[in-house]
Chains A and B, each alone.
Chain A
Amino acid sequence: MIKLIRRRLAVAVPVLFATSVGMFLLGASSPMDPAMQYAGAAAFTTSPENMAELRANWGVDDPLPVRYLRWLGNLLQGDLGWSTTRHEDVAAVIGARAGWTLLLIGITLAVVLAGSLLLGTIAAYRRGGLLDRGLRAGAYAVESMPVFWLALAAIAVFSLALGWFPAGGLTDVRATGTGVGDVAHHLVLPVTVLAVSQTPWFLLFVRDSVAESLRDDHVLAARARGLAGRTVLFGHALRTALLPFLTLVGTHLPELVGGSVLVETVFSLPGLGAVSVQAALGSDFPLLAAITLITTAMVLTANLATDLAYTAADPRVRIDG
């Protein structure tokens, strides 16, 4: 277990380091001038002397490696920098929003996993049947729909035409605080849209691997012992197919994060995704870089978590792990 974590860290640290270098180089090649951005509209009225002083203070004209090391050093000390678009501390911007994004992604992931495991297994059991064919056709269709379009369609139908759910935001405009029921009501559509857009891939995977597992010798043997259909399906077929699925969940997380950016934007949720789009529109390097790095770190952590879960679930790995 410890060995696995250490091995994972040995990969994660270089990954984060390489990402930070790559991002810094991209940022440095950007035509945007951070000093000008910082000064904002004031840049036009500030005297050249003051601007030069500002530049010297920020060290924007120092050589690349010096600037990189300074940035990295600040990051490691917990100083994520100053957002040039929001004019506040990057850490504060992220701190206020990360929770909502984690909530959105967390609930969605739970819905996706429960839905795809259940539906995929049943489809595999009745493969070739109406449910199987319907689910697969639906999955292929949804897979070709951009998530933001799905979100707009959901708003058009469920918010505007039927009026069941709010079209955006996290709380009612009249609300004074953040009530749990209010937030939940506002999250139904975003979570559903994100879950529906992410489920096909998982569903098809579960369906195919369980269908394959159903022809395995050990499943036939379990049936020959006279076990109930449900026991065979979930206790034997799904249980063996589950293991490779676990690691794939980890590798599919970046996709989910990308989807959350779009969904947050469409539903105007105050999460990291929406704020990173605003940051991108203003070429806000410190904010954008911090969000990307933190997201990458979270994805790597989640990968580690799925690997640990795999180790816990598969006795074959546990022994030599």
Chain B
Amino acid sequence: MTLLQIDGLSVRFRLRDAVVQAVTDLTLSVRPGELLAVVGESGCGKSVLAHALFGLLPRNAEVTGRALMGEVDVLRCGEKRLAREIRGRRLGLVPQSPATALTPVRTGRSLLAETLRAHRRDPGLADTVAADAGLDAHALDRYPFELSGGMAQRLVTALALASDPPLLIADEPTTGLDRPLVDHTLDLLRRRCDNGGAVLLITHDLAAAERVADTVAVMYASRIVEHRPAPDVFAAPAHPYTAALLDALPDRAFTPIPGHPPMLTALPPGCAFAARCPRADTACASRPGGPVACHHPLVSEAVA
């Protein structure tokens, strides 16, 4: 039984003189109680994935593939059904960049009460919901521009929790928070999963993923390159890109990955990481497949 089953999701943006390949042939699933972390550098297409599931992409986006929640394909079911059945109700979003995600002319309390009311909950619960997200009640009476980055972050988290959705998509929910608050937020997400909910955590913070995730999907240049249980990924990364990411962490080797990721407007036909990969050879000119998208994985049994 899965909450969300994504099959072959691709998202492309048509620009005036280019096509941006933001997500390519992505397959993922989330079960109840699972905390799935999608990690990768910024600009690899993680946030587009979230917006695609909510049907919030701009009109120049072309979406293909399926994303089933129960029997509903959220990519095809249409705006009306998304608004009535999916958004907020079965799928919650903690949006990226909280500073711009809050309506500037309304207080946190008015936004939170409005969301609670929209989901037939008591608007008086605002204080409790805010406290769950680590936000003081008095901060609710302020306008977004009066909030610090961390307070705004906790407010958007509280807004996403207000409708208590079975699956929460949290897009970089720990930006701008200091260490204790990061831990508080991560524990909050973990607790939701332990109580039967599910969370899709989108982050570039590998330490955060290591702390709470059950499974990890590593995304590089619009594709998932490795999708395995979290302990395995962190103990023995299979894809050279995952290994390089881990090596870049300050408490590991602290060596940055050489070179730059390819532009999403000009992806190579073969393995996108080949240009930066120490293990690359001629085989990498063709596209690798499997749960670890690599011709030369570091851990061979993972391929099987």
Contacts and interface: CB of A to CB of B under 8 A. Distances in A.
Direct contact of A and B (CB under 8 A): yes
A240 B114 contact: no
A16 interface: no
Nearest to A217: B100
B240 to A, nearest CB: 35
B83 A236 contact: no
A315 B93 CA distance: 26
Contact of A221 (B89, B101, B107, B145): B101
Interface of B: 51, 54, 56, 58, 83, 86-89, 92-93, 95, 97, 100-107, 114-115, 118-119, 143, 145-146, 156, 159-160, 162-163
A222 B105 contact: no
B33 to A, nearest CB: 23
From A217, A225, A236, A240, residue with most partner B Cβ within 10 Å: A225
Given A314-B105, A316-B104, A223 B87 contact: yes
A221 B162 CA distance: 13
A236 B103 contact: yes
A286 B89 CA distance: 69
Nearest to B58: A215
B78 to A, nearest CB: 13
Given A223-B83, A226-B83, A218 B101 contact: yes
Contacts of B163: 225-226
Nearest to A227: B118
Given A216-B100, A221-B159, A243-B105, 19 more contacts: A217-B97, A218-B103, A220-B51, A220-B56, A221-B93, A222-B103, A223-B56, A224-B54, A224-B88, A224-B93, A225-B92, A225-B93, A225-B160, A226-B83, A226-B87, A226-B163, A239-B105, A239-B106, A240-B105
A132 to B, nearest CB: 14
A221 B105 contact: no
Interface string A226-267: 111101000110011001000000000000000000000000
A227 B113 CA distance: 12
A313 interface: yes
A233 to B, nearest CB: 12
Nearest to B95: A221
Given A216-B100, A218-B100, A218-B103, A224 B145 contact: no
Contact of B103 (A229, A239, A314): A239
Nearest to B106: A239
A224 B159 CA distance: 10
B106 A228 contact: no
B166 to A, nearest CB: 13
A231 B119 contact: no
Nearest to B162: A225
Contact of A218 (B51, B86, B102): B102
Nearest to B80: A229
Contact of B89 (A215, A222, A226): A226
Interface string A82-114: 000000000000000000000000000000000
Contacts of B56: 220, 223-224
Contact of B156 (A219, A221, A313, A319): A221
Contacts of B115: 225-227
Contact of B104 (A224, A229, A231, A240): A240
Contact of A226 (B104, B119, B156): B119
Given A225-B88, A231-B118, A218 B83 contact: no
Contacts of B102: 218, 221
A224 B58 CA distance: 14
A226 B88 contact: yes
Nearest to A219: B103
From A239, A313, A314, A315, residue with most partner B Cβ within 10 Å: A315
A221 B95 CA distance: 7
A203 B195 CA distance: 50
Interface string A301-320: 00000000000011110010
A313 B118 CA distance: 24
